[in-house]
Amino acid sequence: MPRLPTFAVIVLLTGCVVGPAYRSPKATVPAHWSANPRAAGAAAALRSFWRGFKDPTLVGLIQQAIASNYDLKIAGQRIRAADDMVRIAAAGELPQIGVGAAAESRRETQTIDWPPASPAYGEYPYYALGFDASWELDLFGRIRRQKESAQAAADATVETRRGIAVSLTAAVASTYLSLRATELRVQIARANLDIARQTQRLAHHGFDAGERSHLDVSEADGRVHTVEAGIPPLQAQADELTNALAILLAQVPELFASGDLHADATMPDPPPLPPSLPSELIAQRPDIRRAEREYAQASANVGVAVAALYPSFSIPLDISSTTSEVHEIFRHASLLWRLGLDGTQSLYTGGRLTASVDAARADRQAALFAYQQTVLTAFGEVEDALSRQRAEELRYQALTAGVADDRRAVREAQERYRRGQEGLLPALEAQQLLYATEDARVVSSLSRCLADISLFKALGGDWQDVALPKVVADRSAIN
């Protein structure tokens, strides 16, 4: 069998990769956040930030969600599929080998004059056993660019999963803390209902003694009914939040064991969560990392499109044995073989190939703009979260002081009413103001926690410290 022609070896050694060389996109990064210019790194504070609430129930819920949530499982399977696509693209760099066999009875046309006609002309047994291989020479980097594109797409699916993990932990924490706040609001409403009933008893007692008018009785009764009417919607909201938690944990709401969720209705103080530096945000947020990988994929696709403009070469190798007698199939005389260099080049495609290049370049530019927009949006989200965090802290402090003042006012108004120094209306107004202030403080306490959670998400979360189930055994970068 002759050796591979020397020119084929030379062609192999002089291959190149067409298309743009990938360079990471650049983004304008400010030196610090306008809402908190003194911020230091937040790596330690971000690590399992939900543990900072010091609530074992919340920690357990997040662990269950990471293990069971269907969105994470779906993302894991998409990583597996994307990794398989990388393997498919990489297989193009290797020879493709196959074997074949045939045992047939054939009949050729009998309407041709040559060779001479005979009763058995055109009919004969046919046996074949063969080996074939083909190796496409990636002279212009088409296969390598396809592999780069598939790898970038697979990396993007990993970042998508990380983003889901960040959103999931934030959603579980937000839903759980909202449930705690709602139950606390129910407790406050019931406590205010008790106060309203106390005032109602005072009004009825004064009316029975002839010391108060029926107007006081009507006002006290109306106040009781108003407070009572506000409790059922809050209870319904608590049920909805419990069902939402069940779904996040991939459980049927009716079968969700929610007993531990109602053990404590106090609101925790949010953990301190200083922002990271803007440059750290670029490296941390999964959506930014995904946008960068999508830009890398689009850049590689330009190379794939450009390579299609150039000739393609492959080395075929066919070895087979063909005979009409089975016992001769392994004889040297039955051997056939083919080895060489095949090449093809498109001469005219109606502009299809050049249009593909133009489309790939436009997609690449769009991916760059998408990356820059993602970075810009991320900066805005952090600034908004920092502003909300600071404003809600000041609001909570003012409401805490207001609750103490309103409680004193209720006690004084009730005492003055009891002594006959004031009518019932001042006492009712004081109660209503206390109820509203206490309720607003709970809402503000929840808003403080949600502001910290929003900042956690805006800073990219802490996917490095979340042990996600592995879906591709040979890719340690997934977790």
Closest alpha carbon to 51 in 272, 204, 251 = 272
Give the pLDDT band of residue 232 (cuts 50, 70, 90). Answer: very high
Identity of the amino acid at 283: A
| pLDDT value of position 463 | 58
Instruction: Give the pLDDT confidence of 258-267 residue by residue, as tens digits.
Output: 666 665 667 8
Instruction: Please state the pTM of the whole predicted model.
Output: 0.80
pLDDT above 60: residue 478: no
| pLDDT value of position 306 | 93
pLDDT above 50: residue 229: yes
Q: Which of 4-18, 68-82, 257-271, 277-291 has the highest mean pLDDT?
A: 68-82
pLDDT above 50: residue 479: no
Instruction: Give the pLDDT confidence of 432-466 residue by residue, as tens digits.
Output: 888 889 899 999 999 999 998 988 888 887 655 56
Q: What percent of the chain is predicted at pLDDT more than 70?
A: 84
| pLDDT value of position 474 | 47
How many Å apart are CA 279 and CA 26, to the nearest integer? 12
User: Based on C-alpha coordinates, what's the Rg of the chain?
Assistant: 38
Give the pLDDT band of residue 86 (cuts 50, 70, 90). Answer: very high
pLDDT above 80: residue 167: yes
132 forms bridges with which residues in the sheet?
Answer: 98, 318
Residue pair 381/458 in contact (Cβ under 8 Å)? The answer is yes
Instruction: Name the least confident of 110-124, 407-421, 445-459.
Output: 110-124
The pLDDT of 362-383, averaged and rounded, is: 93
CA 112 to chain centre: 69
Mean pLDDT of the chain: 82
pLDDT above 70: residue 116: no
How many Å apart are CA 288 and CA 291, to the nearest integer? 5
| pLDDT value of position 441 | 92
| pLDDT value of position 410 | 82
The pLDDT of 269-294, averaged and rounded, is: 83
Instruction: Give the pLDDT confidence of 196-222 residue by residue, as tens digits.
Output: 887 788 778 878 777 677 887 888 888
232, two tokens: 């059922």
Residue pair 141/18 in contact (Cβ under 8 Å)? The answer is yes
pLDDT above 70: residue 5: no
pLDDT above 80: residue 131: no
How many Å apart are CA 437 and CA 31, to the nearest integer? 40
**Domains of the chain with CATH codes:** 18-93+140-310+352-478 (1.20.1600.10), 94-137+311-344 (2.20.200.10)
| pLDDT value of position 302 | 95
| pLDDT value of position 4 | 47
Residue 81: partners with Cβ closer than 8 Å, 6 or more residues away? none
pLDDT: is 273 or 463 the higher one?
Answer: 273
162, two tokens: 């990380």
Residue 337: partners with Cβ closer than 8 Å, 6 or more residues away? 1, 317, 318, 319, 320
